[in-house]
Amino acid sequence: MSRTVFMQGNQACAEAAIVAGVRFFAGYPITPSTEIAEILARRLPQIGGKFIQMEDEIAGMGAICGASLAGVKALTATSGPGFSLKQELIGYASMTEIPMVIVNVQRLGPSTGKPTAPAQGDVMQARWGSHGDRGVIALYPSTVRETFDITIQAINFSEKFRTPVILLLDEVIGHMREKIVLPAVESIKLVERKKPTVPPDEFLAYKPDEDGIPPMPAFGDGYRFHVTGLAHDETGFPSGSAEITNALIQRLHTKIENHKEEITLYQEYFMEDAEMAIVAYGVTYRSAIAAVKQARKKGLKVGIVKLITIWPFADEVINKIAKQVKVVFVPEMNYGQLVNEVERVAAGQAKVISLPKVDGNLFTPQEILSALEEEVNRRG
Amino acid sequence: MTLEVNKIWCKGCYICVHFCPHQVLDLDEMGKVYIKNAKQCTACGLCELRCPDFCFTVSKETQGGTEK
């Protein structure tokens, strides 16, 4: 049965994690993500799960790597400074293909920054924060209800594609309370990781199926395997072969790229007849859609694309938009990050205008509307 | 006296090669350890002791049998 509740984004994230089957949380509390840890500290032991507060964010990542290898769906939550600390082990989890979700409730940085001021400054860090080359999935909800759905989606993607998934939240979404209707638990589709079907003596831990994803037993299932961040062959042991290394790094990308259509989540509004478009994500989408509605009243043909999947970048979606409209606006609560991706894909087909904001405040719809009107006036 | 190497566990860190007092060991073209000069091994056990990935088993014959 569906439930009507009044909750903040961080609570929606924690509740969704439980619904999705997460039974292990390890981390270190940090504003503005603390409620996720706080709620899971209370809820997980009630349902047979485990909560551990570690000595720091690095240890929190290590613990969820271990828990996931032991066969449990695992999640951690942090904010910018903790997200920086977690980067090495996020790369380790990519290399060793351990499913998990890392929630980053962003605050203004760099460094300690402004602990309760919203910002969208970790968009590129989610993609490139850990060293080396690998495919990355990062999702970005814009409402409390969407936080619930997308947290489940993040866990499902991580289990399906055997990769760490980054869930980026805005401070404002994390702390804002909204009345939402949660779906009936029975109606929610959950993904469980693929288990090996071969007998243990024939098992190769990193031998992918046709979809590029190797089945994953839990430690203790009877399948013995070696886990290393070193470049490894199908047995999981280190390899010095250039050929094997190449195949591994390629597969860390292609196992995500080959399923891009399934992974790319986005929504379009007012795009049918649009001559200008806004590309927005997270809480900035909410300011932008208000601006679009006001602009429509004034007769401006503006549409909006909301990106929920930030990484892999929605090349096909943006390419289609860039072919259709003359101008694409990219409002972001950072110095201009995802706009570079939009520009790359637009490749001159449409003019791309960056609307950066780094003062720790939200966009007002008026700020975005003014930018739209200014461009219209400039064009005459 | 025997020196056994479990090559697949090797990550090619060179610790054994450098610690071996008799130049018994080397790495192959794939960066994996191999026994280059088995005859020179004195079963001192340094490779077994130093290897971070437990690749070596050194056994030494004694009067009471084989000591690992």
- Give the rounded percent of residues in chain A with a pLDDT score beyond 90: 98
Cβ–Cβ gap A240/B8 under 8 Å: no
Given a contact cutoff of 8 angstroms between Cβ atoms, the answer to whether A196 and A217 are in contact is yes
* pLDDT, mean over chain A: 97
Q: Residue B68: its pLDDT value, please?
A: 67
CATH number at residue A69: 3.40.50.970
Q: Residue B60: its pLDDT value, please?
A: 82
Residues A175 and A304 in one domain: no
Residues A45 and A153 in one domain: yes
The total domain count for chain A is: 2
Instruction: Please enumerate in sequence order all residues whose Cβ is within 8 A of that of A175, keeping only pairs 6 or more positions apart, or say none.
Output: A8, A9, A10, A32, A35, A116
Distance CA A27, CA A35 (A): 12
Residues A171 and A284 in one domain: no
Whether A249 maps to a domain, the answer reads: no
Residue A224 has pLDDT above 70, yes or no: yes
Q: Residue A66: its pLDDT value, please?
A: 98
* Antiparallel, parallel or unpaired: β A309-311 and A327-332: unpaired
Cβ–Cβ gap A235/B9 under 8 Å: no
Which DSSP category does A194 fall into? P
Distance CA A229, CA A289 (A): 43
DSSP string, A281-296: -THHHHHHHHHHHHHH
Residues A274 and A150 in one domain: no
pLDDT 10s digits, A110-159: 999 999 899 999 999 999 999 999 999 999 999 999 999 999 999 999 99
Q: Residue A154: its pLDDT value, please?
A: 98
Given the structure tokens 């199908």, which residue do they identify? A234
Q: Which of A145, A172, A187 is the C-terminal boundary of a domain?
A: A187
pLDDT 10s digits, B17-59: 999 999 999 999 999 999 999 999 999 999 999 999 999 999 9
pTM of the model: 0.95
Whether A198 maps to a domain, the answer reads: no
CATH number at residue A341: 3.40.50.920
Nearest CA in chain B to A232: B11
Cβ–Cβ gap A238/B10 under 8 Å: yes
As a 3-state breakdown, chain B gives helix, strand, coil percent values, each rounded to 5, of 25, 30, 45
Q: Which residues of A328-358 are buried (b: 16+ CB within 10 A; e: fewer)?
A: bbbbbbbeebbbebbbebbeebbbbbbbebe
Coil/strand/helix, residue A108: strand
Distance from CA of A230 to the nearest CA of B (A): 8
CB-nearest partner of A237 from B9, B29, B31: B9
Cβ–Cβ gap B11/A241 under 8 Å: no
Instruction: Report residue A242's pLDDT band, with 50, 70 and 90 as the boundaries.
Output: very high
Helix axes A57-69, A80-96, angle to 10 degrees: 30
Interface residue of A235, A239, A245 to substitute, partner B, most B CBs within 10 Å: A239
What is the sign of the dihedral through the CA atoms of A283, A278, A129 and A122? Answer: negative
Complex ipTM value: 0.81
Interface residue of B7, B9, B11 to substitute, partner A, most A CBs within 10 Å: B11
Given a contact cutoff of 8 angstroms between Cβ atoms, the answer to whether A253 and A213 are in contact is no
Q: Residue A235: its pLDDT value, please?
A: 95
Residue A292 has pLDDT above 70, yes or no: yes
Instruction: Report residue B62's pLDDT band, with 50, 70 and 90 as the boundaries.
Output: confident
Residues A145 and A279 in one domain: no
Q: Which of A129, A161, A187 is the C-terminal boundary of a domain?
A: A187
* Antiparallel, parallel or unpaired: β A100-106 and B33-35: unpaired
Residues A182 and A273 in one domain: no
Domain locations along chain B: 2-67
Q: Residue A379: its pLDDT value, please?
A: 86
Q: CB contact, 8 Å: A224 with chain B? A: no
Residues A178 and A283 in one domain: no
Strands (E), chain A: 3-8, 22-27, 50-53, 73-78, 100-106, 137-139, 164-170, 177-182, 266-269, 276-280, 302-307, 309-311, 327-332, 351-356
**More confident of the two residues A347 and B68:** A347
Q: Residue B1: its pLDDT value, please?
A: 80
Distance CA A163, CA A17 (A): 17
Residue A380 has pLDDT above 80, yes or no: no
Residue B64 has pLDDT above 90, yes or no: no
Distance from CA of A242 to the nearest CA of B (A): 9
Q: Which of A132, A165, A187 is the C-terminal boundary of a domain?
A: A187
Residues pairing with A177 in the sheet: A8
Nearest to A333 by CA among A103, A82, A140: A140
Cβ–Cβ gap B11/A228 under 8 Å: yes
Q: CB contact, 8 Å: B52 with chain A? A: no
Nearest to A185 by CA among A20, A36, A25: A20
Tell me the mean pLDDT in the region A162-189.
96
Q: Residue A279: its pLDDT value, please?
A: 98
Whether A179 maps to a domain, the answer reads: yes
pLDDT 10s digits, A90-121: 999 999 999 999 999 999 999 999 998 999 99
Q: CB contact, 8 Å: B26 with chain A? A: no
H or E, element range at B3: strand B2-5
Q: What residues of chain A lie within 8 A of the CB of B54, using their CB?
A: none
Given the structure tokens 């293909």, which residue do they identify? A97
Residues A160 and A278 in one domain: no
Instruction: Please enumerate in sequence order all residues whose Cβ is within 8 A of that of A16, keeping only pairs 6 or more positions apart, or say none.
Output: A147, A148, A149, A151, A152, A155
Given a contact cutoff of 8 angstroms between Cβ atoms, the answer to whether A217 and A225 are in contact is yes
DSSP string, A318-333: HHHHHHH-SEEEEEES
Nearest to B52 by CA among B25, B1, B12: B12
Q: What residues of chain B lie within 8 A of the CB of A230, using their CB?
A: 11
Instruction: Report residue A42's pLDDT band, with 50, 70 and 90 as the boundaries.
Output: very high
Q: What residues of chain B lie within 8 A of the CB of A235, using their CB?
A: 8
Whether A228 maps to a domain, the answer reads: no
Domain of residue A182 covers 3-187
Whether A123 maps to a domain, the answer reads: yes
Topology, domain B2-67 = Alpha-Beta Plaits (3.30.70)
Q: What residues of chain B lie within 8 A of the CB of A238, using their CB?
A: 9-12
